[in-house]
A and B are shown apart, each in its own frame.
Chain A
């Protein structure tokens, strides 16, 4: 072909346009990333999980619980010496309060007034009854005179809380006693909330962050401030240990792990790929162009993901680092074509030569990732968008940008890898020829069979969310000492109005209380225990009315018991009192710590959260909710795990579907007789990978299946590259396979390194790709074996 000026200038114009478009995209991406306040990188693992709950309020509740303490840091200062523990806690509180990153720090309690706590309840004392009193009053054999005597003669103390004259029977006192704040193991001592356990004193210090736990800057500043303060108090009060929990620590750990992964995968693969390309192409030019093409892919992927999702998940970044290895394939094929063409090289001709192979490869990749995008996990969808836009841009850069930059011929590929590839190719192609190939394939399948039989499944959500055991252990300690709930499982109670919700909650709580009394459940926390339904309050009032409506009789009992006349008439004048209203209660300061339990959503109606406390048997909790209208047990982890399982099932079907989609494409391109031979290496690669996973005792997860889809895509690519490229490298046998091997090695260097990731999901993903790509690339020359017969 003559090198006339017009196609060359057309190439140049296109390249300039493409470069400008890329720059614009890069600018847009940079603005999206840095121009809008904090870095839009989502470290909140919960945000990556799909909506799994049928009732919209349940999802709201899940979010609410996760973030109820989201921006709060809970610290527990522990020392065997009580005074040291308290001094350390005070010092910690002061140190943190001085740092502007903390909005409010609670260590020392403000002065209190006993009166303030029970005074708001006095008006409602005739409608609030503890469980024990209600049961006793309803029993029928209730004897007010004896009850009064028993209360007045309690051992050691009586009437210390609500004054005796306001509560002669102790009814209000008993009700207050069963309120959650009365049951906390933390008690004020020396103006500090303190618990004692196993000879140690534990003092609670809490701090609220000024900003979000998931904000990188906030994380760094808060962790630094905490470390500094901790160091100081441990120095001043030897033997002190600070237990900590809060979303801050989990988010920081997740970020740290992801950064570690990106560093390992990103750097090792970049350096590895660079050395490989340098060695094979024997000049730095191709290396730079390969990375340029990849960079275009990354820029497009990042910008598009930000445009579509507004933020980028940590998981996507780690996955993106690995994706580089696949995006670089396109430029490698083009660069190989140039190296193989030698002095005859012409950019446009070369492009025409590789275009079908690249398009076919791109098509299968896009198909694979599009399937991934069908999974309704926000994180997986983003990975799909990221991959698809990245691959497309990288491939387009080969079509539109690289030709203009690759006008001059290049040195041929380094001789050693080509000779090596040729030797491998010959052995494999001979082995795979004709009937021998069929026998060999059958043998391989026989070898794989025991591996397949050992395959198992695992759909645990912890594949996706890993919590450092150290942090989990600290949280468990804090929960044990302070009695704070766990929040992983909870009951959602819904109803048409607030009253119905409370009534339904009371029905549930009767079941839960039964479990508590059988020692099967440690406790529960719900609003109806703090604000009974109006129905329940009316019932309580009716129970008391039997005794209080007859004023003269009650007066007689109280006087006989020894009460002064003035106290008696004051108490009786307070009858009948008023019921406690939910809205009023929600406005009191006392309700603040519990307000998150009440769900009042404009579109989804009313609901409330009931938290079981302590480790409880899930089946028992499920049973407690059974048969109760409007009550359901929500277990986000279990729901997500179930979803994983469901999609694992779908993924295996998708794999088959993708395979079936490729068959007609190959049949059309390579004739129906040859298609099985071209397809055999990727399919056998899949089979052997599954067998190897079985032998390795790896339980299959959704992520293994996703990786297998990629293996199919990449494997088909290799078969296509080899098949399409071979005719153009007739004078350099082995050169085409060498470039496929190069592609495979770069993929192994990037995806394979994911096997080192700290996230089990990515580890599974990486291992599967490592095995799959290795098997496929070794088998792929067999697809050439019957070539002459076919053409």
Chain B
């Protein structure tokens, strides 16, 4: 049942790599935002990133709504996201099915019913996301700024960051990515050129507190 996880939708040939890179970048944006910005960022962006970077482990409920020209009605899934700085994330879907994906270090894995991590084949993109994620958190958001123009609007209490691809190759596929939030990240919206979009809303965002044994195990924490 491995097809449930493939946001590493990288593709054949050069085009494939372009799209694959896109998938990486999407996530990196979020990560970059969570991390911090470098000198190129304007004041608001800097403030936002500084604020987000204060939380080392965050837990949030998510609702993801996906629309696609092929779908008569949008797909909606709900669950919980646990994000630990430097250790990756757990994407835990509760409805319409139960599934936990763990991305830590250079590995991508699905947590099975017995609490065992099942490494996922050919999900190299996912492991790259984890690796780059850690690089970002170590203070290297250059990647995102290299690939995107960033517009910040609003105020530190309620802000929006809009990422538009700089590169034509990516711009053909990806329209833009919008992050919104206050003290925490509240929403991610991804618009593709083919008319499909993904909208993720976070609620009850809080510092993660003590992690359960299973969560630590899944993220490779002691």
Q: Which residues of B contact A146 (CB under 8 A)?
A: 1, 97
Cα separation A563 to B68 with both chains bound (whole Å): 9
Partner of A161, one of B2, B3, B12: B12
- Given A150-B4, A174-B2, A176-B16: A156 touches B68 (CB 8 Å cut-off): no
Q: Which of B4, B15, B26, B196 has the most chain A CB atoms inside 10 A of its CB?
A: B4
Whether the Cβ atoms of B120 and A117 lie closer than 8 Å is no
B190 touches which of A156, A164, A177, A567 (Cβ 8 Å)? A156
Per the 8 Å Cβ criterion, residues 617-643 of A in contact with B are none
Q: How far is the CB of A118 from chain B (nearest CB, A)?
A: 6
Q: Is A132 an interface residue (CB 8 A)?
A: yes
Residue of A113, A130, A132, A165 ringed by the most chain B CB atoms within 10 A = A132
Q: Identify which of residues 128-180 in chain A touch chain B, using a CB-to-CB cut-off of 8 Å.
A: 130-133, 136, 142-143, 146-147, 149-165, 168-171, 173-174, 176-179
Determine if A155 and B196 form an interchain contact, defined as CB atoms under 8 angstroms apart: no
Which B85-139 residues sit within 8 Å CB-CB of chain A? 91, 93, 96-97, 99, 101, 119-125
Interface pair A189/B70, CB less than 8 Å apart: no
- Our pick among A113, A142, A170, A184 for the contact of B17 (Cβ within 8 Å) is A184
**Within the complex, which residue of B16, B20, B96, B190 is in contact with A149, where a contact is CB–CB below 8 Å?**
B96
Residue from B4, B12, B19, B173 having most chain A Cβ neighbours under 10 A: B12
Q: Which residues of B contact A (CB under 8 A)?
A: 1-23, 26-27, 64, 66, 68-77, 91, 93, 96-97, 99, 101, 119-125, 140, 142-143, 146-147, 167, 169, 172-173, 188, 190, 192, 194, 196, 198, 200
Known contacts A150-B3, A161-B12, A174-B6; 14 further A-B pairs (Cβ under 8 A): A114-B173, A130-B121, A152-B71, A154-B6, A160-B11, A161-B10, A164-B70, A170-B6, A177-B123, A181-B17, A188-B14, A188-B18, A191-B169, A563-B71
Q: Is the CB of A156 within 8 A of B1?
A: no
Q: Are A132 and B120 in contact (CB under 8 A)?
A: yes
Cβ of A132: which chain B residues have Cβ within 8 Å of it?
A: 2-3, 120-122
Contacts of B9 in A (CB 8 A): 157-161, 173, 177
Number of interface residues of A (CB under 8 A): 65
Give every chain A residue within 8 A of B143 (Cβ-Cβ).
196
User: Once the chains are docked, how many angstroms separate the CA of A152 from the CA of B65?
Assistant: 10
How many angstroms between the C-alpha atoms of A187 and B132 in the bound complex? 14
Given the known interface contacts A161-B19, A176-B12, A563-B70, the answer about A156 and B4 at a Cβ–Cβ threshold of 8 Å is no
Chain A residue nearest in CB terms to B128:
A185
Asked if B75 contacts A181 (CB within 8 A), the reply is no
The interface residues of chain A lying within 8 Å CB-to-CB of B23 are 156-157, 160
Q: Using CB atoms, name the residue of chain A closest to B89.
A: A155
Question: Nearest Cβ in chain A — how far from B142, in angstroms?
Answer: 7
Q: How far is the CA of A169 from the CA of B5 in the complex (A)?
A: 11
In the complex, the answer to whether B140 meets A133 with C-beta atoms within 8 Å is no
**CB neighbours of B167 from chain A (8 A):** 189-190
Could you show 11 A-B contacts with beta carbons less than 8 Å apart? A114-B173, A121-B12, A151-B3, A152-B71, A154-B6, A158-B198, A159-B9, A160-B23, A188-B21, A565-B72, A590-B12
CB B47 to nearest CB in A, in angstroms, measures: 25
Within the complex, the shortest CB–CB distance from A99 to chain B, in Å, comes to 26
Please judge, given known A-B contacts A156-B26, A174-B6, whether A82 and B13 are in contact too, CB under 8 Å.
no
Taking a contact as CB atoms under 8 Å apart, the answer to whether A164 and B15 are in contact is no
Query: Are the CB atoms of A160 and B19 closer together than 8 Å?
Result: yes
Chain B hits for A177, CB < 8 A? 6, 8-11, 122-123, 125
Is A165 in contact with B70, judged by CB distance below 8 angstroms?
Answer: yes
Among A155, A163, A196, the one with the most B-chain Cβ atoms within 10 Å of its Cβ is A155
By secondary structure, the B interface counts as mixed
A260, B11: Cα distance in complex, Å: 50
> Are B16 and A181 touching (Cβ within 8 A)?
yes
Binary B-proximity of A592-634 (CB < 8 A = 1, otherwise 0): 0000000000000000000000000000000000000000000
A174 and B3 form a contact (CB under 8 A): yes
> In the complex, which residue of chain A has the Cβ closest to the Cβ of B18?
A188
Q: When the two chains form the complex, which single residue of A117, A165, A189 contacts B13, counting CB atoms closer than 8 Å? A: A117
Residues from chain A with a CB closer than 8 A to the CB of B17 are 181-182, 184, 186-188
Closest 4 CB pairs of A and B: A150-B4, A132-B2, A161-B11, A165-B70
Q: Does A199 contact B (CB under 8 A)?
A: yes
**B85 smallest CB distance to A (angstroms):** 19
A113 to B16, CA, bound (A): 10
Contact B198 A156 (CB under 8 A): yes
CA of A765 to CA of B14 in the docked complex: distance in angstroms? 52
Give the complex CA separation of A143 and B4 in angstroms: 12
Chain A hits for B192, CB < 8 A: 157, 160
Q: Which residues of chain B come closer than 8 Å to A590, judged between CB atoms? A: 12-13
Question: Bound state CA distance, A118 and B27, in angstroms?
Answer: 24
Residue of A nearest to B77 (CB): A153
Docked pose: A269 CA to B13 CA in angstroms? 58
B121 / chain A contacts, CB cutoff of 8 Å: 130-132, 178, 517
Q: Which of B12, B70, B101, B190 is the one whose CB lies under 8 Å from A181?
A: B12
Let me know if A155 and B64 touch, CB within 8 A.
Answer: yes
- Indicate the member of A159, A178, A186 with the most B CB atoms within 10 Å: A159
Compute how far the CA of A146 lies from the CA of B77 in the bound complex, rounded to whole angstroms. 13
A109 at the interface (CB under 8 A from B): yes
Measured in the bound complex, the distance between the Cα atoms of B169 and A157 in whole Å is: 17
Q: Is A34 an interface residue (CB 8 A)?
A: no
Q: Tell whether, in the assembled complex, residue B19 and residue A109 are in contact, meaning their CB atoms are under 8 Å apart.
A: no
Whole-angstrom CA separation of A669 from B192 in the bound complex: 97
In the bound complex, how far is the Cα of B82 from the Cα of A155, in angstroms? 13
CB of B19, distance to nearest CB on chain A (Å):
5
Asked if A35 is at the interface of the complex by the 8 Å CB criterion, the answer is no
A-side contacts of B119, CB under 8 Å: 517
In the assembly, what is the distance between CA of A154 and CA of B19, in Å? 16
Q: Is A562 an interface residue (CB 8 A)?
A: yes
Asked if A235 is an interface residue, CB under 8 A from chain B, the answer is: no
Q: Quick one: which of B3, B18, B66, B91 has the most chain A CB within 10 A? A: B3
Q: How far is the CB of B23 from chain A (nearest CB, A)?
A: 5
B3 touches A147 (CB 8 A): yes
Residues of B within 8 A of A156 (CB): 7, 23, 26-27, 188, 190, 198, 200
Contact partner of A113 (CB less than 8 A), chosen from B3, B7, B15, B190, is B15
* Closest residue of A by beta carbon distance from B147: A189
Complex contacts, B1 vs chain A, CB 8 Å:
136, 142-143, 146-147, 150
Which listed residue, B16, B97, B101, B188, touches A182 by the CB 8 Å rule?
B16
Closest residue of chain A to B30 (Cβ to Cβ) is A156
Which chain A residue has the least Cβ–Cβ distance from B194? A163
A131 close to B196 (CB less than 8 A): no
Instruction: Please report which residues of chain A, range 182-216, place their CB below 8 angstroms from some CB of chain B when the two chains form the complex.
Output: 182-184, 186-191, 196, 199
Name the B residues within 8 Å of A411 (CB-CB): none
CB pair A112 B169 closer than 8 Å: yes
B75–A187 contact, CB under 8 A? no
How far, in Å, is B155 (CB) from chain A's closest CB?
27
* A151-B190 contact in complex given A114-B173, A146-B97, C-beta closer than 8 Å: no
B81 CB to nearest chain A CB (Å): 9
Q: Which residue of A lies closest to B1 (CB)?
A: A136
Nearest B-chain residue to A83, judged by Cβ:
B146
Judged by a CB distance under 8 angstroms, whether A436 is at the interface is no
Residues of chain A with a CB closer than 8 A to B124's CB: 182-183
A82: B residues at CB distance < 8 A: 142, 146
Q: Nearest CB to that of A184 among chain B residues?
A: B17
Contacts of A136 in B (CB 8 A): 1-3
Assuming the contacts A161-B16, A178-B121, A190-B167, asked whether A152 and B11 have C-beta atoms less than 8 A apart, the reply is: no
For residue B72, which residues in chain A have a CB less than 8 angstroms away from its CB?
A: 562-565
| A54 beta carbon closer than 8 Å to chain B | no
A81 shortest CB reach to chain B, Å: 10
User: Do B13 and A153 have beta carbons less than 8 Å apart?
Assistant: no
- Determine which of A133, A160, A164 lies in contact with B2 in the assembled complex, contact meaning CB atoms within 8 Å: A133
Interface hits, A525-563 → B, CB 8 Å: 561-563
The answer for the CA separation of A266 and B188 in the assembled complex, in Å, is 74
How far apart are B136's CB and chain A's nearest CB, in angstroms? 12
B residues near A170, Cβ cutoff 8 Å: 3, 6
Chain B nearest CB, measured from A528 CB (Å): 15
